[in-house]
Amino acid sequence: MKIISWNLNGIRSANKKGFLDWLTEVSADLICFQETRATEEQINEIIPNIEGYNLYFNSAKRLGYSGTGLIYNNKYINISSQIYINKFDEEGRTIITEYPEFVLINSYVPNGTSRLEFKLEYIDELLKICEQLIAGGKEIILCTDFNIAHDEIDLSHPKENKRRSGFLDVERKMFDKLLNIGFIDTYRYLNPDKREYSWISYKARTLGGDFGWRFRFDYIFVTKNLIQNVKKAMIHNDVFYSDHCPIELEIDM
């Protein structure tokens, strides 16, 4: 099974840059989108019916903001876009899809630059849901723009970002908590020493070298029992339809 997770930074903007060409060429069983920033009607106009696939989108109430989406080709048991906390649900940040073998969670964690407490509260609620599922014997695949770089290897300028959201100690402790409840970062598991980034600033893209910020913000986590099934985890860091790059997981299920 191939899974792709991708923060589009606006599906309409990505579409103008030609992301649909890449989307139709890639062959994946599940594609999770974050930050679609469009209504369901606008998304349906952009993404035509793809033979053999279905679309599910969770748009924010606020127009042009946040939102998540899922393209899938296998039948699920249940799907939900609610964690039953209105301030998070109205921003369309979560899709939870239950399959016979696992639960797929697609999550867009808030940026903490101006709403750090909101971000930490959302992560805390997300982890509570994960803990409940794990306690119930469920295996989880979590696709997320987590908006946190965990270690110094996960960003280009760690010293300069110590006091910036995305690499704050309090955020990194939340990352630790996610790992401690039973998740594994699939990319870092297979690439323990590799320096690659999934979010690259405009300055870094245009000037290269040591200019601009680069972060690994995007992750596909799996619960520990699934890690033996993981075959590949990679970042498509040559795909530039968004300021985020798509990430990919291949797993035997």
State pLDDT tens for residues 237-251.
Answer: 999 999 999 999 999
From CA 157, how far away is CA 153, in angstroms rounded?
9
State pLDDT tens for residues 127-184.
Answer: 999 999 999 999 999 999 999 999 999 999 999 999 999 999 999 999 999 999 999 9
% of the chain with per-residue pLDDT over 70: 99
What is the domain range of residue 220? 2-251
pLDDT at 49 over 70: no
pLDDT at 23 over 90: no
What is residue 164's three-state secondary structure?
coil
Span 178-194, average pLDDT? 98
Q: Which residues are catalytic?
A: 145
Tell me the average pLDDT of the chain.
94
pLDDT at 122 over 90: yes
Whether the CB-CB separation of 35 and 8 falls below 8 Å is answered with yes
Q: What pLDDT does 208 receive? A: 79
Indicate the pLDDT class of residue 96, thresholds 50, 70 and 90: very high
State pLDDT tens for residues 26-37.
Answer: 889 999 999 999
Q: What pLDDT does 28 receive? A: 92
Q: What pLDDT does 210 receive? A: 83
From CA 119, how far away is CA 252, in angstroms rounded?
33
Q: Which residues, listed in sequence order, are joined to residue 33 by a DSSP beta bridge?
A: 6, 69
State pLDDT tens for residues 203-220.
Answer: 888 877 787 899 999 999
Please spell the DSSP secondary structure of 17-78, one letter per residue: TTHHHHHHHS--SEEEEE---S-HHHHHHHSPPPTT-EEEEE--SSTTS--EEEEE-S--SE
pLDDT at 199 over 80: yes
Question: SS3 letters for 202-226?
Answer: HHHHHHCCCCCCEECCEEEEEEHHH
Indicate the pLDDT class of residue 235, thresholds 50, 70 and 90: very high
Q: What pLDDT does 15 receive? A: 93
% of the chain with per-residue pLDDT over 90: 84
Indicate the pLDDT class of residue 44, thresholds 50, 70 and 90: confident
CATH code where residue 100 lies: 3.60.10.10
> Among candidates 2, 251, 4, which has minimal Cα distance to 139?
251
Q: 0.85 exceeded by the pTM? A: yes
Q: What is the DSSP letter of 121?
A: H
Place of tokens 């987590």: 146
Which amino acid is residue 173, in one-letter code? K
Cβ count within 10 A of residue 195: 12
Q: Which residues, listed in sequence order, are joined to residue 214 by a DSSP beta bridge?
A: 200
Number of independent structural domains in the chain: 1
